[in-house]
Structure 1
Amino acid sequence: MITPNFKINQDPRYIHLLIKAPMAKIGETSVAFDDEMFCFHSKPYYLRLHLPGKLATQDGSEKIDWDGEKNEFVISLLKATEGEHFNDLNMLTKLLTKPNHQKNIKLNSGIEVLDQEVTEDQEDYDWYIDQSEWTEDEQKSLMGEKYGFANRYSGILSRFLDEIGDLLELKQPETTDNCERKELRLQKDKEMFDEDHYWFDLYEQKDTIKDLISFKLDWEKTTDCDSCNFNDEQIFRMKNLPKREYLLSKKEKFQLLLGLIDILFAYSYDMRTTEGEHTCESGWTIIKLSATLSWLQIHSTLPETLVTCVQRSLVHPLYRNWNLSLKVINDVYQILTKGRSFIIKCLLDVHRILNESGDLQYIFNDLYITDYCVWIQNVREETFRSLAEAMKKIEITKEMIGFDLQIIEKAAELAFNESIQ
């Protein structure tokens, strides 16, 4: 059976399902619903949804139409309570996932474990305080050190090191714990920081970088909800995401949200430096700039995460400029203020880029991005607003980066002035 593409709208009385089914057998179509459950069947399509509100009893008030021009069913179902607003009707993976009402024990074996019925994240966070590092017992498994989304994986990357060695800078992922990952990453970034490249971009590329900074991206162009609507390609990806729920501690959620900042920074940098048109190098850029992906690093606080993002952006990509990096931080802030739907759109774009790129980049989808696309659908909007507000209060200084930027810039300024005299 095929899960069709679908959209859901609502008004005070009805929810309206638009189900794309170009190969459907119209005469063999059936629709059934009861309380929060909805089922649609029309060979070769089958769709079962778990709605966030109750429907009225099946009594003939439902309406089913076929739009031959669009090859889609239009189904209108009466709400049990008129005026009730059904939340998250655009969180398609969440609607497709059957809520699990039984409490499960969390295992550390890499086996997928379902949570109790999951609605929304209800944690409050202090983004400036370390929520404590992983302990040795938490981090290790029989297969070695753990990594990936919420440290769910181990024993995987060692098989692919020859193929992804240029992308994964951590050379011994199965035996290096998170503290060592941070230390090794910072040590290598300091070694690789190129003063001449930074100097060149500061003066020789200043017009180009000025143009990149002033370029208007999607999240800066509009404030309405149209920017948060999913297109057909994004709907297709969402409905094909795995149906998972996650049993996560507050600490794990906190660290996942910091990892989200890191990934969105890398994505925003690529969007800005390609002026909204990804290139064949976009997958490489996103993985390289994200310490979460390239070093499997778990971040401790929001300031530390932003410092790491800036450090990576001044060491690895084509354009290495302080003001550009600060602009990208603002891009991440703008994305967060757009809310959950827009964040998911960005993650789905990352997912597409890595799937379509070479060099086994899809592995980072398997380890991180796919789970992020599913999990984010259950995070409260308030959490993203809190994270955005915290970002706005943080001032990243050149001293925090640790590359002697002020000394380099002063020397560059003196040399530049001498050259034009």
Structure 2
Amino acid sequence: MITPRFTCSQTPESLIVSVYCPSIRAVDVEINVDETLFTLHINPYFLRLDFSHPIVEDDASSARYDPSSGYLTVTLTKETTGQDFQDLDLLAKLLAPRENQMGSPLIEVVSADGSSPLPEMAAVSTPDEELVSMTRQLNLDDERQQILQAAENDWHLPQDAPEPPISLSEQKTYGFLGIHSGYFRHVSHTENEVNELGPDAETCTLSERRRRRVMHENDKWDPEYYMADFADDERIQELLHWKHPHVLDVQPFSYTESENMAMLRLPRREYLATPSHTRGLYLTLITLLFSYAYECRTTQCDPTPESSWTLGSLTPAFSALDPPTSSVRSTEKSENPFTKDELMATLVPSYRRALAFPLYRSFALAEVCQNDVACFLGKGKRLVVRCLLEMKDILDHHEVYYVYSKIWVDDFCAWAQACARWTLPVLSLSTSLELTLSPRFSDEDLISLGKRLAELRVEKESIGWGLDELEAATQGVEEREADSDDDESS
């Protein structure tokens, strides 16, 4: 089945679904409405959408097909007139499986005469027989409740994050929630300059990846390059004063047609994350947006052939498969706050890589990139998804680096729209300058995180390369040269 291109809109009374399905027979269209669930089937297209509020199919509902444009327009009535259906532009969220609503069964199974389902239990005469009968009854009750719960939840069974299996294989997993593997088996035959693990990418442990990342950053660090950019910063000053269009844009937000098509192609998975995994995703999101901010600022949103390399090299989760990790254990509650040290540990690797790899190496430039990330988060989840989609587009057009889109960005786009609101904690600002986690994913939470990042200052000594001393030495050289020029002129 093919998922067709579609858009959703609303009026105070109705919900309108516009579906592009050219060259079909309108008489074969099958439409079904079940509370919040809408399904449409017409060979070879199938569409299943889950809305935030109930809809009904009544006399005011209609379906109209325009053969000239190929669009089928379905108008459905809102169960509650005037109710606002949110997130109709987040297509991946509408396509995601229905939210679990597991509760008490609505049907109680009893015997035909209304007595206990197993009246024979009253006749049990021995303790052993009573124990066997009670165990059988518990098993039957458990099975019955699971079936009832599954039926209530549209046959989406409840799931828990599985414990990591004990594996005797040397191959390791990586990427979003560690669900990917095998993408770097033949890396020695590709020109992947981003990969810092070489042919060992499939077998390196997390600790080994981090060790190699830090070692590679130290090897690539060039103090003379940094001093030269610090002394001759005319171009860098231009980059510092440039403003990202997304930050300046005050128009009502609307995804473009190409962005909608990209969202339709996103993976449709159910992501099961422990609290520590979830916190790690938020930290990794900061590093992705940081590399995106640097790329946009240095190219002024006009990607070059080097843009995909820049994105990959500045993101630790790409280059060394080393995303930030949370300090919270999987067994702890997700309400534990993000500490300043946890956020600092996330930003420092991005700063180090921005000072060791790309064309422009400036601490001030890294600081404005951090501020850009704060602004992106402050605009809410829709802009965050747009930034990720633009990042994905750059990576997808490279014959090698598209792999990082597959193992990270695709899942991030789908997660941010469809899954974060159900099972993942979010971030909000507390009075103690720490970030706490709440059970929903909202623009307000991202705005709070953006404010926290805007207030956070990364100290130069945390980078570990003596930046203050290098800058002082550069200024001293400039002063001596200026004094020498004054003496010669006199």
Question: For 1:141-195, what per-residue CA distance to the aligned partner results, in whole angstroms no more than 9, with x for missing partners?
Answer: 7343331111223454233244254211123233432233223222221221112
C-alpha separation in 1, matches of 2:481 and 2:80: 76
Q: What TM-score, normalized by structure 1, do the two folds share?
A: 0.85
Are 1:108 and 1:141, in contact at CA under 8 Å, matched by a contact in 2?
A: no
Are 2:370 and 2:454, in contact at CA under 8 Å, matched by a contact in 1?
A: no
Label 1:67 to 1:216 Cα distance change in 2 as closer, same or farther (>3 A).
Answer: farther
Are 2:396 and 2:402, in contact at CA under 8 Å, matched by a contact in 1?
A: yes
Are 2:221 and 2:355, in contact at CA under 8 Å, matched by a contact in 1?
A: yes
Q: For residue 321 of structure 2, what is the amino acid of its counterpart?
A: L
C-alpha separation in 1, matches of 2:270 and 2:38: 20
Question: For 1:299-335, what per-residue CA distance to the aligned partner results, in whole angstroms no more than 9, with x for missing partners?
Answer: 1421111111111101111111111111111111111
1:199 correspondence with 2:227: yes
Q: Which SS does the other structure have where 2:72 is aligned?
A: strand
Q: For residue 313 of structure 1, what is the amino acid of its counterpart?
A: A
Are 2:378 and 2:448, in contact at CA under 8 Å, matched by a contact in 1?
A: no
1:264 correspondence with 2:289: yes
C-alpha separation in 1, matches of 2:65 and 2:480: 75
* Residue 271 of structure 1, CA deviation: 0.8
- Corresponding residue number in structure 2 for 1:345: 386
Q: For residue 91 of structure 1, what is the amino acid of its counterpart?
A: L
> Which ranges of structure 2 fall in alignment gaps of 5 or more residues?
101-155, 326-341, 421-440, 486-490
C-alpha separation in 1, matches of 2:163 and 2:88: 33
Question: For 1:328-370, what per-residue CA distance to the aligned partner results, in whole angstroms no more than 9, with x for missing partners?
Answer: 1111111111111111111112222111112x21211221111
Label 1:194 to 1:76 Cα distance change in 2 as closer, same or farther (>3 A).
Answer: same
* Residue 254 of structure 1, CA deviation: 0.5
C-alpha separation in 1, matches of 2:83 and 2:259: 27
1:332 correspondence with 2:373: yes
Are 1:307 and 1:400, in contact at CA under 8 Å, matched by a contact in 2?
A: yes
C-alpha separation in 2, matches of 1:383 and 1:92: 21
- Corresponding residue number in structure 1 for 2:481: 419
1:292 correspondence with 2:317: yes
1:14 correspondence with 2:14: yes
2:414 paired residue among 356, 374, 384: 374
Q: Could you tell which deviates more after superposition, 14-23 or 391-400?
A: 14-23
Q: Could you tell which deviates more after superposition, 410-419 or 234-243?
A: 410-419
1:225 paired residue among 252, 268, 282: 252
- Corresponding residue number in structure 2 for 1:241: 266
Are 2:379 and 2:447, in contact at CA under 8 Å, matched by a contact in 1?
A: no
Are 1:24 and 1:45, in contact at CA under 8 Å, matched by a contact in 2?
A: no
Q: For residue 407 of structure 1, what is the amino acid of its counterpart?
A: E
- Corresponding residue number in structure 2 for 1:387: 449
C-alpha separation in 1, matches of 2:378 and 2:251: 12
- Corresponding residue number in structure 1 for 2:336: none
1:144 correspondence with 2:171: yes
Q: For residue 332 of structure 1, what is the amino acid of its counterpart?
A: V
- Corresponding residue number in structure 2 for 1:406: 468
Q: Which SS does the other structure have where 1:173 is aligned?
A: helix
Q: Which SS does the other structure have where 1:144 is aligned?
A: coil
Label 1:383 to 1:161 Cα distance change in 2 as closer, same or farther (>3 A).
Answer: farther
- Corresponding residue number in structure 2 for 1:214: 241
- Corresponding residue number in structure 2 for 1:174: 202
C-alpha separation in 2, matches of 1:203 and 1:14: 62
C-alpha separation in 2, matches of 1:185 and 1:66: 56
Are 1:5 and 1:232, in contact at CA under 8 Å, matched by a contact in 2?
A: no
> Which ranges of structure 1 fall in alignment gaps of 5 or more residues?
111-136
Are 2:209 and 2:320, in contact at CA under 8 Å, matched by a contact in 1?
A: yes
Question: For 1:174-232, what per-residue CA distance to the aligned partner results, in whole angstroms no more than 9, with x for missing partners?
Answer: 3432233223222221221112221222232x221121122221222123432xx2111
* Residue 416 of structure 1, CA deviation: 2.2
* Residue 28 of structure 1, CA deviation: 4.5
1:183 paired residue among 187, 211, 218: 211
* Residue 297 of structure 1, CA deviation: 1.0
* Residue 39 of structure 1, CA deviation: 2.4
Question: For 1:5-64, what per-residue CA distance to the aligned partner results, in whole angstroms no more than 9, with x for missing partners?
Answer: 2121223322122223344445544433231222234554332212222112x2221133
Label 1:108 to 1:280 Cα distance change in 2 as closer, same or farther (>3 A).
Answer: farther
- Corresponding residue number in structure 1 for 2:96: 97
- Corresponding residue number in structure 1 for 2:362: 321
Identity value in percent: 29
Q: Could you tell which deviates more after superposition, 99-108 or 287-296?
A: 99-108
Structure possessing the higher radius of gyration over alpha carbons: 2
Q: Could you tell which deviates more after superposition, 175-184 or 298-307?
A: 175-184
1:307 paired residue among 342, 345, 348: 348
Q: Which SS does the other structure have where 1:146 is aligned?
A: coil
Q: For residue 414 of structure 1, what is the amino acid of its counterpart?
A: G
Label 1:405 to 1:5 Cα distance change in 2 as closer, same or farther (>3 A).
Answer: same
C-alpha separation in 2, matches of 1:33 and 1:144: 46
Structure having greater relative contact order (Cα 8 Å, sep ≥ 6): 1
Q: Which SS does the other structure have where 2:53 is aligned?
A: coil
Are 2:52 and 2:86, in contact at CA under 8 Å, matched by a contact in 1?
A: yes
Q: For residue 407 of structure 2, what is the amino acid of its counterpart?
A: L
1:365 correspondence with 2:405: yes
Question: For 1:70-90, what per-residue CA distance to the aligned partner results, in whole angstroms no more than 9, with x for missing partners?
Answer: 543333211112232223222
Label 1:14 to 1:368 Cα distance change in 2 as closer, same or farther (>3 A).
Answer: same
Q: Could you tell which deviates more after superposition, 404-413 or 374-383?
A: 374-383
- Corresponding residue number in structure 1 for 2:435: none
* Residue 267 of structure 1, CA deviation: 1.0
- Corresponding residue number in structure 1 for 2:85: 86
1:32 correspondence with 2:87: no
Q: For residue 466 of structure 2, what is the amino acid of its counterpart?
A: D
Q: Could you tell which deviates more after superposition, 78-87 or 379-388?
A: 379-388
- Corresponding residue number in structure 1 for 2:180: 153
C-alpha separation in 2, matches of 1:412 and 1:340: 42
Are 1:168 and 1:293, in contact at CA under 8 Å, matched by a contact in 2?
A: yes
- Corresponding residue number in structure 2 for 1:274: 299
Q: Which SS does the other structure have where 2:266 is aligned?
A: coil
Are 2:244 and 2:297, in contact at CA under 8 Å, matched by a contact in 1?
A: yes
